[in-house]
Amino acid sequence: MEAELVPHDGEEHDQGIGARLNWLRAAVLGANDGIVSTAGIVIGVAAATTQRSAIVTAGVAGLAAGAMSMAAGEYVSVSTQRDTEKALLEKEIRELREMPEEELAELAEIYEGKGLTPELAHEVAVQLTRHDALGAHAEAELGIDPNDLTNPWHAAWASMVAFTVGALLPLVAILLPPEGARVVVTALAVVVALAITGAVSARLGGADQRRAVLRNVAGGVLAMAVTYGIGALVGTQL
């Protein structure tokens, strides 16, 4: 007697995975931007002056401005994507209502192009259309799940909160150590944090973690080096 075959573990197939990946992506990118941009600000100011108040003011201002900017940017970007998805779905609904036979033939042609025989492709198209016409056509033709559209508010809040959390790390790191160790301690903390966000982002996307970490850390180190050099130059001139 043959053993019953069951789906293997380790993969998610539920309808909510797209929405979760959307806000996870926004959260990881927000944290990464918060770390890099705030680190650049506070290190640049620290290179120009040793006054703690100036560093705090610049860091907090950068944190607030960056968090709001990230939230607004994510909201606008994802809202545009959602509007486009809705427009495409409305067009598909209209076509299904006005030309159902043509849409059925189009769906069958798509599955035939994926390797099914014409007879099986037609039967699959009929069965899927009968079960959920809009869902079947939207997924096959547009790559959209009508029940899992992107949510701009989720992305905006995730990005803003993540940016704030990420920005707090270099802000705290620059203030706690003694004056002579501020920049070194902050730079080391930022490198560790960027390695973590790089690894997380690669894991979410299924990419090579080592390459993502190196790319992330290199970008952050370059940003800190540039802002430190500018701060030192400006501080010397002033």
Per-position pLDDT tens, the chain of length 238 = 445 555 445 545 444 455 556 666 667 788 888 999 999 999 999 988 889 999 999 999 999 999 999 899 989 988 998 999 899 889 988 988 899 899 888 889 988 888 889 889 899 889 988 888 888 888 888 888 888 787 888 888 888 999 999 999 999 999 888 888 899 999 999 999 999 988 887 887 777 889 989 998 999 899 999 998 998 888 765 5
CA nearest 189: which of 60, 38, 48? 38
Cα(155)–Cα(64) distance, integer angstroms:
17
Q: What is the pTM of this model?
A: 0.73
CA contacts within 13 A on the Cβ side of 203:
8
For the record, the structure tokens of 64 come out as 């607030």
Gyration radius of the chain's alpha carbons: 25
Would you report the helix, strand and coil content of the chain in percent, each value rounded to 5?
Answer: 85, 0, 15
